[in-house]
Amino acid sequence: MKEALLQYAWQHKLFYTGKLATIKGEKVEVIDPGQLNKDAGPDFFNAKIKIGETLWAGNVEVHVNSSDWKNHHHSEDYAYNNIILHVIAKHDADIFRTSGAEIEQLILPCHEDLESRHEALMEPKSFVSCAKHLDKVPRILLSGWKNSLLTERLELKVNDIEILLQNTQNNWEEAFYITLARNFGTGINSIPFELLAKSLPQIYLAKHKENLTQIEAMLFGQSGLLNQSPTSDYANKLKQEYSFLKAKYKLQPIDAHLWKLLRLRPQNFPHMRIAQFATLTSKSSKLFSKVVNAKSIEEMESLFECSTSEYWQSHYTFNKTSHPKQKPIGKSTIKILLINSVVPLLFTYGRYKSDERMQEKALTLLEQITPEQNSIIKKWKQYNIVATTAFDSQALIHLKKQYCDCKKCLQCRIGHYVLTQNP
């Protein structure tokens, strides 16, 4: 048995309580297994255990073998002097505190099929290892678990935003601009897009917001893509503008090779995204303030509705032409921007300002947005786990990426259900 599973069995009392006895034969009663410690030190704090006729309060350590105690040097570590019980799967040594006093040990009689159920969860499967149990998971359990998952996901995003705020002297507009840029990269180009935004402070764009050509010149120039453009009136104009603005603001472009075009549909080429980002930047100054003050999802969406300049209506790259047509930011892209930029920023802002209504506004927004339709969400649907809003889809994406793919079934509520329910 793995140590993590033994710990889990102890934590959740998944053992036969009537059979508990120390290896010396003293009866054991677990009144409280203690609190799991995820940091250095004993595995469980503040346990309450009756051994024989004596009630003990203290810490508990869990190992597969008794000899692990010595192998981990706990017999010389004062932090382990308050261990009242050593919980093990196999007894192969007596163990002692630094004082030389012997520590009681208990071979944990785990529920008999716990290990086999856990092994089944750890087996690699095409999507999730608990698939055959999913239709039995109570909806109420799933609903509560999605709430917790969504909170965890938001916390990860809040952490990223806090780092951005630290690096921008608490400039919310700048943090929003960089987050927005990252999400304009729609996954595959998110890193170069973020680097592009970081290389070009928003304040420079704001100074030239009346002149879309200058904004495009700065963005395409800083992206490195302008260097690769063939000669044309438009490209020459951008190069001329960029040369002047680059010197004026002492700008350093990023490496053009960071951008990826392979397997992308032309409307998602970085050139198209940069052209749309340029128009959005030129049309909206203080976009984050507008987002904060928007009264409805429709108002919020309308803030991101814009197309490209004329040149990009007939081009996908500097080399690749297209039939002339409007190329606005699509509804699905606006949805991604709302989910991944607006919601986390609003939520973080609400927390900073101790404004619960702002945090509520962020969560309500997620509930108003339709779910993403990516491969993860489609797969969950095959197992009848259906996302009805972006709140759900974000939670399910988090579950797959942060739990299923990392084999963290012991920390998952569905995993707990699978491990503990009667067959």
Binder among 226, 272, 390, 412 for ligand SF4 (CB under 6 A): 412
Q: Distance between CA atoms of 333 and 354, rounded to whole angstroms?
A: 30
Binder among 51, 114, 128, 292 for ligand SF4 (CB under 6 A): 128
Spell out, one character per residue from 94 to 123, where the chain touches ligand SF4: x when CB under 6 A holds, - when not. ---------------------------x--
| 54-62/83-88 β-pairing | parallel
Compare residues 72 and 408 and give the one whose CB is closer to ligand SF4: 408
Binder among 66, 129, 202, 214 for ligand SF4 (CB under 6 A): 129
Q: Is 47 exposed, middle or buried (0-12, 13-18, 19+ CB in 10 A)?
A: buried
Q: To the nearest whole angstrom, how small is the minimum distance from the Cβ of residue 115 to ligand SF4?
A: 16
Stretch binding ligand SF4 (CB under 6 A), from 35-43, 159-167, 170-178, 414-422:
414-422
Number of residues that bind ligand SF4 (CB under 6 A): 13
Please report whether residue 341 would count as binding ligand SF4 according to CB under 6 A: no
Q: Distance between CA atoms of 343 and 77, rounded to whole angstroms?
A: 47
Q: Distance between CA atoms of 201 and 164, rounded to whole angstroms?
A: 13
Please report whether residue 409 would count as binding ligand SF4 according to CB under 6 A: yes
Please report whether residue 414 would count as binding ligand SF4 according to CB under 6 A: yes
Count Cβ atoms below 10 Å from residue 49 Cβ, excluding itself.
23
Q: With beta carbons less than 8 A apart as the criterion, state whether 81 and 105 touch.
A: no
Please report whether residue 132 would count as binding ligand SF4 according to CB under 6 A: no
Q: With beta carbons less than 8 A apart as the criterion, state whether 291 and 342 touch.
A: yes
SS3 83: strand
Please report whether residue 371 would count as binding ligand SF4 according to CB under 6 A: no
SS3 303: helix
Please report, in angstroms and rounded to a whole number, the separation of the first and last CA atoms in the chain: 21
Please report whether residue 404 would count as binding ligand SF4 according to CB under 6 A: yes
Q: To the nearest whole angstrom, how small is the minimum distance from the Cβ of residue 423 to ligand SF4?
A: 16
Please report whether residue 5 would count as binding ligand SF4 according to CB under 6 A: no
Stretch binding ligand SF4 (CB under 6 A), from 64-72, 250-258, 269-277, 410-418:
410-418
CA-derived radius of gyration, the chain: 29
Sign (positive or negative) of CA dihedral 309, 313, 314, 316: positive
Q: Which residues of the chain form contacts with ligand SF4 (CB under 6 A)?
A: 121, 128-130, 399, 403-404, 408-409, 412, 414-415, 418
